[in-house]
Structure 1
Amino acid sequence: MTDLLKSMAVAASGMAAQGSRLRITTENIANADTPGYRRKLIPFEATEDGGVRAGRVNLDPAEPRKIYDPANPLADADGYYEGSTVDVITEVANAREAQRSYEANLKMFDQARQMTSSLLGLLRQ
């Protein structure tokens, strides 16, 4: 019985971590056109009980791309300003991967819940 409860806890930790990843990804997409915005990255860390948790949010070390627009008020003397480091296609792929991982953890959680329920039903008889 404890193994089933542990598997539910591990699946729940995976869902929480993927939820955090999805939140960071949506923040990145929302700020894709914000000048000077640096993409946020969130690493995962293994826990002692076999689960996973979201680590500390880091900023993308990549250099922002230079955009030529002399009419922009943020432009320097040469007409360039710093864009964001967000690639929308990459972020959409990350969001899709996070969603699928979340769904896989949800299915594992549901399977463990059903097995626990069946076991309790057998013990009542």
Structure 2
Amino acid sequence: MSAFSDALSVTTTGLRAQATRLRVLSENIANADTPGYRRKTMPFELQRVDQGVVGVQPGRVRLDQSELERIHDPSHPMANEEGFYEGSNVQLIIEIADAREAQRSYEANLKMFEQTRQMSSGLMDLLRK
């Protein structure tokens, strides 16, 4: 029965990590047009769940240090003397692709969780007979 609880623990860590990743990606998408906004990135780190069982956990959120987009709009309140201001470094195509990947990974973890739970329930039914 331990293998079932280990599998459930690992899939649970995957669900939590992907949910956190989706939150970070949605913040990036929401702030794509915010001047001076730096894209947030979040790596995954290995996490020991039980004896010898390893899962994942969200790492520390970091700011992308790539250059901010330089936008020419002399009428913008944040524009300098030359008419430029710094936009964000968020690229919507990348964020949407990452969000789709995170969503699919979340769904795969959820499917694995459900299958493990069904297998555990089936085993209990067999043992009762």
TM above 0.5: yes
Q: 1:94: Cα distance to partner?
A: 0.7
Q: 1:56: Cα distance to partner?
A: 0.8
Summarize deviations over 1:31-74 as a string: whole Å, max 9, x none: 00000000000110011231100011100010101001111110
Unaligned 5+ residue runs, structure 2? none
Aligned to 1:89: 93
TM-score (structure 1 length as normaliser): 0.98
Amino-acid identity (%):
57
- What does 1:53-92 correspond to in 2, within 5 Å? 53-92=57-96
Unaligned 5+ residue runs, structure 1? none
Q: 1:124: Cα distance to partner?
A: 1.2
TM-score (structure 2 length as normaliser): 0.95
The whole-number CA distance in structure 2 between the counterparts of 1:21 and 1:65 is 24
The whole-number CA distance in structure 1 between the counterparts of 2:117 and 2:5 is 8
Q: 1:4: Cα distance to partner?
A: 1.1
- What does 1:1-125 correspond to in 2, within 5 Å? 1-48=1-48, 49-125=53-129
More strand by share: 2
Q: 1:76: Cα distance to partner?
A: 0.7
The whole-number CA distance in structure 1 between the counterparts of 2:79 and 2:57 is 40
How many residue pairs align between the two structures?
125
Question: Any runs of at least 4 consecutive aligned residues in structure 1 with deviations exceeding 2 A, and if so which?
Answer: none
Kindly provide the amino acid, as one letter, of the partner of residue 89 in structure 1: I
The whole-number CA distance in structure 1 between the counterparts of 2:65 and 2:128 is 58
Q: CA RMSD in A?
A: 0.7
